Amino acid sequence: MKEENAIEVKNVKKSFRIYYDKGNTLKEKLLFSKRRKYEQRVVLNGISFEVKKGEAIGLIGHNGCGKSTTLKLLTKIMYPDSGTIEMRGRVSSLIELGAGFHPDMSGRENIYINASIFGLTKKEIDQRLDKIIEFSELEKYIDDPVRTYSSGMYMRLAFSVAINVDADILLIDEILAVGDVAFQTKCFNKLREIKANKTTIVIVSHTLAQLEMFCDKNIWIDKGVVCLEGAPKYVDLKYTDFVMNTEKEKTREKKEKQEEKKKQEEKELGNKEVEILEAKIINGNVFKIGDTIKIEVTYKRNDRDLKDAVLGINLMRNDGTYCYGTSTLLDKCNSWELLDDGKIEITLYNVMLLQGEYNMDIAFADGGATNYHYIRQAVKFQIVNEFAELGICRVEHTWKCV
């Protein structure tokens, strides 16, 4: 470890097992042991950085990027899967609000418990007790059980203990966001005082402005690796740009999904008393002028009392030009009794459409205003042209001088 450094993190990796179907009882674990599927989720993937003695650094990044995990590894609450972490000096930490506090004990008793966790002797705690209570501003409540404390009071007491340990390294995770503005200002003033005494400080926070005022360096963590480190204003600007671009991308994707959903909703209409399960062209998708096109419609009759229905088609060119439309009603077909599940084949003979891309709407209806199931652009096909004519369809013709 370099003499000038207080912390050295080298190629640290950390992952967790996320169980999808975990047995909770002994019986479940014995009978369904093979069912305990999990995902190995990588949180840190080779993170490395150094912190000099007396330096204050901020860890920034989106939720889930690995900031808090890094801090827990530094406090040795957990250990890395691989890589090394070296630290020089006594460590004090504020990782979780009121961690180590016993709810039924008083604030005074919890000061002794919490401070002893940081390595202070009873004599050292006695010497600092009045100072801790004074800083917390909890003199009136110090002998009350901490379960009666608000989250802000918890934070005051925990912070007061941590900063009076006289640690060489102080680790803080986001909890400065708790408490009123006056106490937050008081905390930061105390941190500046601690920093002036050459204490090394590592802070995880989403409040970039506070880090810019306090830290010597910021480290941006993204997807478990150090994305960028350097002067806080420079790193924060790059991180902010990244977040804004990411949000724009998310907004764009969300808008596209909404538009796609809207198109899908507009594509299908009807009460589905008769439902089209599938519509497909069964003899290809590319045709020449004059070819036959066969469409197969698979349907399901959801209303068992409904015996017949009108089946109709609308043929469109892809630019929206209406080409042709008909139905079993217009063609005066004899009505048929629909099966519960069945197929209907539609055959278009000698299709004289000119070159282009086409689609066909297919619908079941009652012959009036009620659609059972209407699907826009249910099938698509292409016509290739061996002639040079213009328009929608080919008309047989001759030229003759008379």
DSSP H or E run through 25: none
Task: Judge contact between 206 and 174, C-beta under 8 A.
Answer: yes
Using pLDDT thresholds of 50, 70 and 90, give the confidence band for residue 261.
Answer: confident
Candidate from 52-66, 95-109, 347-361 with smallest mean pLDDT: 95-109
* Residue 103: exposure state from Cβ atoms within 10 A (0-12, 13-18, ≥19): exposed
DSSP H or E run through 264: helix 232-267
Highest averaged pLDDT of the listed ranges 147-151, 159-163, 185-189, 325-329: 325-329
Smallest CA-to-CA distance from 323 within 313, 334, 332 is with: 313
- Name, in order, each residue with C-beta under 8 angstroms of 29's C-beta and a sequence gap of 6 or more: 23, 36
Residue 107 CB neighbour total at 10 angstroms: 26
Average pLDDT over residues 60-85: 90
Residue 281 has pLDDT above 90, yes or no: yes
How confident is the model over 88-145, as pLDDT tens digits?
988 888 776 556 688 899 999 999 988 888 778 899 899 999 999 998 889 999 999 9
Residue 177 has pLDDT above 60, yes or no: no
Q: DSSP secondary-structure letter at 339?
A: P
Judging by DSSP bridges, how do beta strands 286-288 and 371-384 pair with one another? parallel
- 274-384: CATH number: 2.70.50.60
The domain segmentation of the chain, as residue ranges, is 5-249, 274-384
CA distances from 191 to 164, 178, 213 (A): 11, 16, 12
Using pLDDT thresholds of 50, 70 and 90, give the confidence band for residue 14.
Answer: very high
| 3-class DSSP assignment, residue 211 | helix
Q: How far apart are CA 9 and CA 76, in angstroms?
A: 13
Residue 295 has pLDDT above 90, yes or no: yes
Length of the chain: 402
Q: Domain 5-249 belongs to what architecture? A: 3-Layer(aba) Sandwich (3.40)
Q: How far apart are CA 199 and CA 168, in angstroms?
A: 5
Highest averaged pLDDT of the listed ranges 113-127, 178-192, 222-236: 222-236
> Which pLDDT score is estimated for 308?
80
* Residue 163: exposure state from Cβ atoms within 10 A (0-12, 13-18, ≥19): buried
Using pLDDT thresholds of 50, 70 and 90, give the confidence band for residue 394.
Answer: confident
Q: How far apart are CA 52 and CA 2, in angstroms?
A: 9
- For the chain, the C-alpha Rg in angstroms (whole number) is 36
User: Over the range 357-394, which residues count as b (16 or more CB within 10 Å of their CB) and which as e?
Assistant: ebbbbbbbbbeeeebbbbbbbbbebebeeeeeeeeeeb
